[in-house]
Structure 1
């Protein structure tokens, strides 16, 4: 009996393009109704994995299951998935309603049912009243929602989203992040979202798989991946992380290995002799650079023990002139020991 609680299961998935191994053995399970993100830099293999799930690429080895059914060798139209691309691929000569109805027309769904389902899909993405407009009459965010409605109207088990917000400006992208998450909760469909944007993945996902060089480095909730990165790559790619290793780790932490602490967990004391609590670690250094960013300031501090740490401090009571004057100052960085964690090489 197929396991219906697992929407997507990948087993030993590999894909080679000649001598290049784009996907080097991926095992992954995505639960039914989950908002799951595949995050990684360009060339990490995440989009190739998405295309193999959709059926646009055939695996060199391994299998793809949807709802417990092996679909590895099935054509895209035989799989219970739909894909939303970054460029939306709307038909410019068709109205919004006709664009949304198109997939149902191909499946020979009756006119009345087709109209009813397309209207409901547009309502779900809050585009009532836009049925007769053409794509050229819509904003970028509205075109993105039409593309979503066109995918949702087919009622797929899994909706695949290939960097669908990449073409939007920052403000609109942030608005659409919230809308997409709300929409996923409303419709209850499994969303599999590919992105290279760390903030996007952290903001929207129930869980994240971090990809690098065709492999998954870590899978976990946004909090787990951000707060407890399991490899140096994850620590460096997801947000900003400070790595303390070698002689600096011995001098500051009293132990060997590589350790990470996030910039916002550090406290910058302007007195280099400031006390350190029993449950804290401290390190003395010199402010090498100050980057004022409005709401916060980033301080780059060269440690006396070796290495360089970044501190993120909210600008509650200081101005840009005041913080930039700290360049060259002798300071002590202090952090709670529970915010440092070992990184496996």
Structure 2
């Protein structure tokens, strides 16, 4: 009698073969049996579960970053014909260093290299450093003809005079030379733009300087002195109206608080010349100015200790009063040579 063969299911045989092949870390073989049927749903479910167990077992025993000396280990990965980058969960995290984030090139790109100074700028400096008007006209003509001026360029040039009025003796006359050169070479439009923004920048800078007077630093405020002289010189070269200059005188009288301010006022009166106190309605201007001027200077001189600075200031006060009185009694000879501006403000 033939002994009965112990019956076993497909799942049991598969499980035993999985355990026997667990030492083969690179490959899992599945031998087909006569009892496995493609239509058997039970075998299919069990086989899928066993595959998952084997895959997890392989990950635990042989991680990708661990090398083994087992000669029986083989690679069972199938390389696709089209290789694609894969993401490894075991890769070290990328942490950017400070050098990577804030690295600065050793040399700047060519676009950032500073260009040479424009050719017209040298003529500008030469014109503002000479006191000879014929030379100023020559430098102004060279400056205007050195480039093609746009509206923005002319406006910037006008503001440059107010920002950099470093030499009061020359900046006013050179501004007049530039105005004439623009009028001759570029036309009335450009000269009117230059004159308008020249006056606008000078008046705004003057008002700002005198609205921020610090009594403790009055003797060190060099810009207030320079912009005040520049305003008076603009009137002397017929680029600023008389009414505007007298408004500036009023600003000085209401804000002056030191002996240095008396000297600034003396400079303004001296540079503005006699025509400031002549012409129609000049009597009202002279009376209003001298009355307020006497009260303000008396207060300043009374609060100052006697000494050389006070003596100089007292002499300048007398000079201002004497100059205004003499000029007012002379006949007016002022003749405007500036063309009427196309701009309505300032007059």
Task: Report the TM range for the smaller structure's normalisation.
Answer: under 0.3
The structure with the greater share of residues assigned to helix is 2
Structure with higher Rg: it is: 2
Highest relative contact order (Cα 8 Å, sep 6+), 1 or 2? 1
Q: When the two structures are superposed, what TM-score results if normalisation uses the length of structure 2?
A: 0.25
The structure with the greater share of residues assigned to strand is 1
Q: When the two structures are superposed, what TM-score results if normalisation uses the length of structure 1?
A: 0.25
